[in-house]
C-alpha cells in the first residue's frame, strides 16, 4: 500500500513537471520562430516602410488564416508560401498567437 501511494505521487509530480516545462518551451520557440519574420516584416513585426506589411498586433485568427492560406497555396505570394511551408500547423498557431501579442 505504501509503495502504491509513493508511485502514484511520483507519477503525478512527473506529469506536472513535464506539462509545465512543455508550456515554456512552446512559448519560447514561438518567440524564436517569429524573429525569422521580423527580417522582412520589421523588428517586432512593425514595418518601417508604410507600404510594407506590418504584422504585429493583428488578431491571431487573421494571422493564422493568412499563414494557412499561404501554406495551402490558396493565397499566392512571392515568398510567403515557401516560408510558411517550413512550419507545422501547431507552429503556425503558436507564431500567430505570439505576433498578435506584440504592440
Ligand atoms: C523573406 C521575407 C519575408 C519573411 C522572412 C516573412 N515574410 Fe511574411 N510577407 C513577405 C512578403 C513579401 C509578403 C507579401 C506576400 C508575398 O509576396 O509573399 C508577406 C505577407 C505576409 C502576411 C500577409 C500580410 C497581409 O496583410 O496580407 C503575413 C500575415 C505574413 N507575411 C506573416 C509572416 C510571418 C508570421 C513570418 C514568419 C514566420 C513571415 N511573414 C516571414 C515577406 C516575408
pLDDT at residue 52, rounded to an integer = 76
Burial class (CB in 10 A: 0-12, 13-18, 19+), 94: buried
CA 6, distance to chain mean position in Å, is 37
Per-residue tens of pLDDT for the chain, all 103 residues: 556 555 555 555 555 555 556 666 566 789 999 999 999 999 999 988 766 789 999 999 999 999 999 999 999 999 999 999 999 999 999 999 999 999 8
> What is the structure's pLDDT at 25?
59
For residue 92 and ligand 1, the question of a CB distance below 6 A is answered with no
Opening angle at CA 48, ends 69 and 56, nearest 5 = 45
Residue corresponding to grid cell 497555396 = 73
Instruction: Give, using CA atoms, the residue closest to atom 10 of ligand 1.
Output: 80
**Which of 29, 37, 64, 92 best tests ligand 1's pocket when mutated (most atoms within 8 Å of CB)?**
37
The residue whose CA is least distant from atom 19 of ligand 1 is 80
pLDDT score, position 21: 60
Amino acid at each position: 500500500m505504501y509503495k502504491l501511494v509513493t508511485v502514484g505521487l511520483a507519477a503525478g509530480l512527473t506529469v506536472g513537471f513535464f506539462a509545465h516545462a512543455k508550456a515554456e518551451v512552446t512559448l519560447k520557440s514561438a518567440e524564436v520562430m517569429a524573429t525569422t519574420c521580423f527580417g522582412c516584416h520589421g523588428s517586432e513585426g512593425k514595418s518601417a516602410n508604410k507600404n510594407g506589411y506590418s504584422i504585429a498586433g493583428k488578431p491571431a485568427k487573421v494571422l493564422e488564416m493568412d499563414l494557412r492560406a499561404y501554406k495551402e497555396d490558396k493565397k499566392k505570394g512571392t515568398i510567403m508560401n515557401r516560408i510558411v511551408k517550413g512550419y507545422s500547423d501547431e507552429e503556425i498557431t503558436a507564431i500567430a498567437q505570439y505576433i498578435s501579442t506584440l504592440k
